[in-house]
Structure 1
């Protein structure tokens, strides 16, 4: 007992002495306009001080001065002087508190006014687009534009409180003062990130998903997405798949199927640059580096007149501007790739630039994860014999590709004046694949020297996106804002595949070769305007001019000869669009949005007008009812390439409906949207439910059958262009909850998508490729001071699989001599249900000049064998025919299995 009593006394005395030692700590530092947050981090890391504070209290506060051996109390007095901040010493901790001031209560002098302002990041000075600005106590408001400016009408008085919220940031409030409402109000926002255990953040409310100002609009915080499980790094597009209405039952696909439509029916913009392909590594990674992203807006349907050219949804990404205050850097490393980014100010804080780069090192170091992903891609292919994966002791040594990808982002922003901002955004991404290998088959396993067949494979592919955008925006006055942009986008896909088969004597007995080329050059001029008229009308209007050149070619060659592409390989055209939208505030609780978009084009004799209408009614402060309809057109569209003998790589092309001589007829796609639903949001609980119906016409499929030719006793490709329509309906449900450091949501989609094609199945209804009747997703995130934990579970009912008709050919003696595939007659089957569990854990650490995180993600924790699709066993069928054997219908296809248990490590550093 004496020992225990002695230890307790020592412990109590040490705690008392520690509290007394705070005053004896001496500070020696030099600061030049450093943020107070950075100063507090230095006190914590270098001087071992513990500090508690509210992020909102220090937002926008900077420190300058030279300090030599200053006692900590004198140091705090100096840096906090005239900043409205005081401090208290309590035991071993410094607590920052607001300084008491004499309140000067002003009476309002102006009523029903319009407030104009700018929302910025407090630490970097970067403008925050799509922040929600409203009068405190009222639910509805406005959102900031791309440059962070807002115009808020119908503010009750010039002493009202303005409230601003932005995902990933602490809510800010500004009390208006009489006489100052005619000035531009600057609102600085602080990121609501948790500090380490030595710091206590008083308020930390964060969210990853938030429904936006428009119907079917979702806002995403890319920073919080980094906590989700991944293949080693944050993947923007795959993270979006956890949302309702966006297909997520394929962990190796970065395509975005929004409400049962193909991803190419969606408009994807990066700083106004149109992206035509969204993936790296055949869908494993998305084409956008998360370090380059500031803001993401997703419109699942019913989008406004300012967007056009697609018939399903919109993903509008705003790139990171950079830092106008202090430079910062980051880098990351995982088992497949490495990345680096920098945000640097220039011109004395009037300008900032961001640069980020990412590269896979799979052509130098082939990790086990890469070997698994590549083998998974190979097994999905129609263009490799199943024998390549059967009975090989060293499969990875035999099939070793030369592959890598990279992307580069650069953005420079310069504030020409208080009214004018200019920016330059550049994007480049590329994939390169080169594979060349042989598969040798032996006639007699007991006689390894006898070769029966040699299959030689050669595959080369390179694809990518290049883009550049130059923009000038100006706030002409408090009510009028404009943005002028010149943007160029270049997408290319070049693919060559050759499979040559020879017998043991060296004679050629089989050949299948395909060459695919697709390139799109898109030059656009955009003028966007925002005008506030009175207190009830907010107008958006503008012009878009696109000049598009397309090169598209498909050649198929086999032993019977070449089957060339029957289309004109080159096409070009212009699209001129005008749009006008009016957001009308009918009352405090009712808002009407009307708009239209007129499209004229050189590729059609007709003009296309799409109307927009939306009604939002708020009967209760936390309840919103919504209704929307619209008509949409897609002139730049993609053709589906459906060939049972090769990979289905689709290609972009321009529609052509003119009566003048030219390429074959390719219709302009049209769709009609109808959306109705409600949203409830209170006490950190969000419930959003939307019913939708979408009717699409102008679909085409590039359908290829392989028919038997009795004159040559071989199969010959038969190409058919099949026009069609689609009818899609369903509902999306999101339930999201935040409790302390936990946030999570449930996303459920119930839907049905049916297609009709004139030349397929006699024009009867068949399930669309994207038709998944039920999809359920659970997402859980816990952010603690030093740890992040997350888990996701995804369930999807079976997707359709198209089984073409296969006819076996016999000679007069009844012997099997060949087979044919009739792709215009399909049997629709359902694949097994899909489900998987993913988890992630990350440890956060921090030093004086650096912070970071390292962690582990595991995909498919319980090793579920999920099937993505099926492939025809062409080579096995041919071998069976050579042996005069007919394979059973159940054995004609092999399953394409997705990733099994897949762990991945990652490291991220921030300077």
Structure 2
């Protein structure tokens, strides 16, 4: 019998037919076979062992018309393509994406969520679309309050999340002291959230990964956008540049300008506050197989206040830049080399009746990463890489009361350099048509503390029936960076390394999930998780003269476990999702709460969320979000006893605190609505956004404090915002 002819490979890029922006997550299938692939973060795909002869490729991507193209496959002659996709004439929410279950079998994607940018643009607060607000609507993702953008994911604190922007680490991705995120949605192409069990290519954090990709820019023509909202205004421009494209966007608040117009009141002065952020990116093709990208990210928040002898200012900011080179070796090997630098700094400068206080700190990293992706055949994909990061930690403290202090315990300067080296390898193997397996290993070496850690990762997917899949994952995750954050001054975060006085943090993830697609465009999943937390930290607020990391924190352990239900409608005029999470978080510290277990602030038993987006027609869009959550825990007071200090005739008494985080606020719930009207202004696309925050004006409790000046101490509830309607505008050119 004659031997069957050898197959060949088909590889290339999938891009937008107009802007030439590469598309992430597009599906490319060989019709009539089980062969297929999906595009990576650079829009690249590779399919091995395609039979010779005439073949039809089917290409789909959310928001684009399905495309079929015929190709001729020649024996042992790789075929390279650049496939262009046309956006649907309808809204992307009306496009049914025929995702192949054969291709999905190759992607385990446990606890992974991609929220389309169109849906993110619909979730606004104060007229601002916000990535973190959209992610907070997912089950298992919590916040400290309704006006916070911090992400507490499956029992992990925000510092346990790895936040990446084009490969750059972002240490404080928020503005307005956590009210909104620092990511301008106009500049973002893709948002990927890994809530747990993430693969070996990611490391350095214990909880989750948020991987954000910026837009490259329009390669065909220049276009721009200007938006005016309640909180800030924004503008962006993009277009062709040389053999590639550019993107430049920025936002700025005008709260300080408004305050400047208000007459001064020496008795009750208003604080002067402003923030801004800038996103920039240049992409150039160096040849058919090489692309170079340069990305930049800059944010700044500044607050100043002056009143009769009291004068203080606060500054917070991020600066980051990255150079990325992607290269295609042949038809089945793809590489990305990234050089990046990122700095987060904050500072407090105060003068109270001549007594000077200065505090400032910063973390800077310089990183080099090499990532290789090998599409070995139609069943095996291998990833490997190296990451080296040099850190600089600085901290300056002056509590002496003088601008030029003498050496004392009130003056402290820290300048520490450290670096970490990591290598990883992982494989994704399709064992049978129904079973896929992922195994990975990551090794880390921290030079100063001499810690060596090994992080194994495993994941499995079994296609039980054509519409039901069971997934499981296990992994070990280490973290070397620690965040010292005083709950009374959450704006002042200090990042510290792990030194010889404390071991690195560690978390073990166990995840089991069931996923089904009952019909096209609808997905339902149930995720159960269990996490053990070791060597986690709680700030020691009684320590004022710490000279080593072990003195700054209490070190303890904890657990987090729960189950999440998620129902998502992806297509049609009505899209959105409903999610519910039932979860428990527990901490245990020998020096906290007398060693007894406690439920931390982000322990919320019940978490129900729903979001709906409805497209009436080409002009009108309506959206709504609803949240119900168990109240957060807090440390309150149980009683007070009267006492006086020696030499004083009277005293205010002493509050007897409750068990640490031993009390709980009432449950909270909120409904938000938004309406978009699309029209034209001077023949340019123009959109009016009407948002109603907290529709039925339920003012949930933010926090409680106790007034000791009264004979019977009064408890005061500080409540969140009432109903807040806002209007904003956007024009494109």
Match of residue 529 from structure 1: 372
Comparing 402-411 with 821-830, greater Cα deviation is found at 821-830
- C-alpha contact (below 8 Å) 2:27/2:60 kept by paired residues: yes
Relative to structure 1, the CA distance from residue 276 to residue 249 in structure 2 (aligned partners, 3 Å threshold; closer, same or farther) is: closer
Deviations 1:224-266 (A, max 9, x none): 3212242112111111111121115733211111112111100
- C-alpha contact (below 8 Å) 2:345/2:362 kept by paired residues: yes
- C-alpha contact (below 8 Å) 1:411/1:425 kept by paired residues: yes
Match among 581, 584, 590 for residue 435 of structure 2 = 590
Asked if residue 204 in structure 1 is aligned to residue 118 in structure 2, the reply is no
Match among 473, 483, 486 for residue 326 of structure 2 = 473
Asked if residue 410 in structure 1 is aligned to residue 263 in structure 2, the reply is no
TM-score by length of 2: 0.89
TM-score by length of 1: 0.73
The alpha-carbon deviation at position 798 of structure 1 amounts to: 1.0
Match of residue 487 from structure 1: 340
Match of residue 492 from structure 2: 649
- C-alpha contact (below 8 Å) 2:35/2:50 kept by paired residues: no
Alignment of 1:304-319 (within 5 A): 304-319=199-214
Asked if residue 219 in structure 1 is aligned to residue 55 in structure 2, the reply is no
Match of residue 548 from structure 2: none
SS of equivalent to 1:363: helix
For 2:220 and 2:5, locate their aligned partners in 1 and report how far apart those are by CA, in whole Å.
36
The alpha-carbon deviation at position 905 of structure 1 amounts to: 0.9
For 1:367 and 1:851, locate their aligned partners in 2 and report how far apart those are by CA, in whole Å.
33
For 2:89 and 2:343, locate their aligned partners in 1 and report how far apart those are by CA, in whole Å.
38
Match among 673, 678, 685 for residue 844 of structure 1 = 678
For 1:823 and 1:202, locate their aligned partners in 2 and report how far apart those are by CA, in whole Å.
52
SS of equivalent to 2:19: coil
SS of equivalent to 1:650: strand
The alpha-carbon deviation at position 352 of structure 1 amounts to: 0.5
For 1:650 and 1:569, locate their aligned partners in 2 and report how far apart those are by CA, in whole Å.
15
Relative to structure 1, the CA distance from residue 135 to residue 243 in structure 2 (aligned partners, 3 Å threshold; closer, same or farther) is: farther
Structure 1: gaps (5+ residues): 1-108, 196-200, 372-393, 439-455, 501-507, 658-664, 708-718
For 1:355 and 1:743, locate their aligned partners in 2 and report how far apart those are by CA, in whole Å.
31
Deviations 1:607-659 (A, max 9, x none): 0110010001112222221000010111122124355xx557332111112xx
SS of equivalent to 2:673: strand
Relative to structure 1, the CA distance from residue 814 to residue 139 in structure 2 (aligned partners, 3 Å threshold; closer, same or farther) is: farther
Structure 2: gaps (5+ residues): 545-550
Give the superposed CA RMSD. 3.3
Alignment of 1:147-296 (within 5 A): 147-153=42-48, 155=50, 159-179=54-74, 182-192=78-88, 194=90, 204-205=95-96, 214-247=109-142, 250-296=145-191
- C-alpha contact (below 8 Å) 1:142/1:213 kept by paired residues: no
For 1:202 and 1:276, locate their aligned partners in 2 and report how far apart those are by CA, in whole Å.
33
- C-alpha contact (below 8 Å) 1:242/1:248 kept by paired residues: no
SS of equivalent to 1:704: coil
Match of residue 727 from structure 2: 905
Relative to structure 1, the CA distance from residue 206 to residue 343 in structure 2 (aligned partners, 3 Å threshold; closer, same or farther) is: farther
The alpha-carbon deviation at position 202 of structure 1 amounts to: 13
For 1:812 and 1:340, locate their aligned partners in 2 and report how far apart those are by CA, in whole Å.
62
- C-alpha contact (below 8 Å) 1:138/1:621 kept by paired residues: no
Match of residue 700 from structure 1: 537
Comparing 617-626 with 320-329, greater Cα deviation is found at 617-626
Match of residue 144 from structure 1: 39
Relative to structure 1, the CA distance from residue 248 to residue 721 in structure 2 (aligned partners, 3 Å threshold; closer, same or farther) is: closer
Asked if residue 778 in structure 1 is aligned to residue 610 in structure 2, the reply is yes
Deviations 1:99-128 (A, max 9, x none): xxxxxxxxxx96765421211011100112
SS of equivalent to 1:223: helix
Match of residue 701 from structure 2: 867
For 1:587 and 1:285, locate their aligned partners in 2 and report how far apart those are by CA, in whole Å.
46
SS of equivalent to 2:154: coil
SS of equivalent to 1:535: coil
Match of residue 325 from structure 1: 220
SS of equivalent to 2:365: strand
Match of residue 626 from structure 1: 471
Match of residue 463 from structure 1: 316
Match of residue 574 from structure 1: 419
- C-alpha contact (below 8 Å) 2:599/2:662 kept by paired residues: yes
For 2:536 and 2:729, locate their aligned partners in 1 and report how far apart those are by CA, in whole Å.
44
Match of residue 793 from structure 1: 626
- C-alpha contact (below 8 Å) 1:705/1:823 kept by paired residues: no
Deviations 1:11-32 (A, max 9, x none): xxxxxxxxxxxxxxxxxxxxxx
Asked if residue 433 in structure 1 is aligned to residue 303 in structure 2, the reply is yes
Relative to structure 1, the CA distance from residue 813 to residue 230 in structure 2 (aligned partners, 3 Å threshold; closer, same or farther) is: closer
SS of equivalent to 2:119: helix
Q: Which is helix-richer, 1 or 2?
A: 1
The alpha-carbon deviation at position 221 of structure 1 amounts to: 1.3
Deviations 1:527-560 (A, max 9, x none): 01011224332110010000000113556689xx
Asked if residue 749 in structure 1 is aligned to residue 592 in structure 2, the reply is no
Structure number, greater radius of gyration:
1
The alpha-carbon deviation at position 694 of structure 1 amounts to: 1.0
Relative to structure 1, the CA distance from residue 514 to residue 187 in structure 2 (aligned partners, 3 Å threshold; closer, same or farther) is: same
SS of equivalent to 1:191: coil
SS of equivalent to 2:186: helix
Match of residue 507 from structure 2: 671
Count of aligned pairs: 711
For 2:465 and 2:34, locate their aligned partners in 1 and report how far apart those are by CA, in whole Å.
9
